[in-house]
Amino acid sequence: MAEEQGQPPQEEKRTVVRTQQVKKEYKMGSTTVRALQGIDLEVYSGEYLSIMGPSGSGKSTLFNMVGGLDKPTEGKVYIDEVDVAQLDAYELAWLRCRKIGYIFQSFNLIPVMTALENVTLPMVFAGLTSDESRDKGMVLLGKVGLGDRYSHKPFELSGGQQQRVAVARALANDPAVVLADEPTGNLDLHTGTEIIELLRDMNRASGVTIISATHDYKMLSVSDRVVWVSDGQVERIANREDLDIEVAQVGGEDE
């Protein structure tokens, strides 16, 4: 994969998430559904990776595996070279707290807490003092452009603003990976674009790896790589430079 201008330097191209022959089966009554049938995937540090695929393709399952939210039936998932299956509940919580930031389709801010408190919650779990976390939280809220709205509750914010708070929250503990599950799914076109750009900016500025599950074609133009999943298998992986032509075509249809 050739380096492109504007990307963070990736001399060593460290692998941050690695899956090895990951298979996942669900038992639904007497039948067994094979959601994933042996996926090998490497996610490099600092890249912006999109996982695309229709619903039912195993996209969400793969995404949850990569995020340490689900354990494979067979195969292994390594996050930061740690085998997720080997971790106990305590270590998993630690991993989720420190190494992974989550962004959800439906924002999932805690309704009883203000924007600032939502952002600082992961820091509280990580054991920061309230002073430290407040300062850091304000910086993060400033970065996502909501510095003046820190005292607002989620219901006082628009969808796009809520998702910005969620982005700040995902970055709270300087994670290695940010997982964004359909981050634009509940947003209109314009706001969705803003969130995608925000994610891209964060990715460039802090070098955080972003993995996003999506079927939003706007996401393609900012992704370094795109993984297409279908029928529980990786259909193909496209690099950024291969994408540009397609995006021009598809983007035209989409908008």
User: Which segment (19-27, 41-49, 118-126, 188-196) binds other proteins by CB under 8 A?
Assistant: 118-126
CA atoms within 13 A on the CB side of 30: 0
Sign, Cα dihedral of 82, 18, 101, 108: negative
Rounded to a whole number of angstroms, the minimum distance from the CB of residue 124 to other proteins is: 5
H-assigned helices in 99-207 = 115-126, 130-143, 159-170, 189-206
Contacts with other proteins: how many residues (CB under 8 A)?
Answer: 38
The letter for the amino acid at 99 is K
Between residues 204 and 215, which has the closer beta carbon with respect to other proteins? 215
Nearest to 70 by CA among 81, 80, 58: 58
Tokens of 177: 């990976």
Q: Does 44 sit near other proteins (CB under 8 A)?
A: no
Strand pairing report for 15-28 and 31-44? antiparallel
Using the rule CB under 8 A, is 97 a contact of other proteins?
A: yes
Number of C-beta neighbours around residue 224 at 10 A: 24
The CB-of-170 to other proteins minimum distance in angstroms stands at 9
Contact positions with other proteins (CB under 8 A) in 196-255: none
- Binding piece for other proteins, criterion CB under 8 A, among 25-33, 99-107, 135-143, 241-249: 99-107
Of the candidates 181, 196, 216, 226, which one interacts with other proteins according to CB under 8 A? 181
| Residue 113 binds other proteins, judged by CB under 8 A | yes
Q: What is the DSSP letter of 3?
A: -
Candidates 27, 36, 31; CA nearest to 230 is: 36
> Smallest gap, in angstroms, from Cβ of residue 82 to other proteins?
7
DSSP string over 215-245: --GGGGGG-SEEEEEETTEEEEEEEHHHHHH
Residue with smaller CB distance to other proteins, 64 or 206: 64
To other proteins, the closest distance from the beta carbon of 216 in angstroms equals: 14
Is residue 140 a contact residue for other proteins (CB under 8 A)?
A: no
Query: Which of positions 65-94 make contact with other proteins (CB under 8 A)?
Result: 69-70, 80-82, 89-91, 93-94
Measured between alpha carbons, how far is residue 146 from residues 76, 116, 172, 203 in Å? Answer: 39, 10, 15, 18
Looking at the Cβ atoms of 45 and 243, the one nearer to other proteins is 45
Tell me if 110 contacts other proteins by CB under 8 A. Answer: yes
- Binding of other proteins by 104 (CB under 8 A): yes
Identity of the residue numbered 152 = H
> Which of 34, 38, 42, 124 lies at the binding interface for other proteins (CB under 8 A)?
124
CB of 64 to other proteins, least distance (A): 6
- 64, 70 contact by CB (below 8 A): yes
Residues at the interface with other proteins (CB under 8 A): 60, 64, 69-70, 80-82, 89-91, 93-94, 96-100, 102, 104-106, 108, 110-113, 121-122, 124-127, 169, 173, 181-182, 185-186
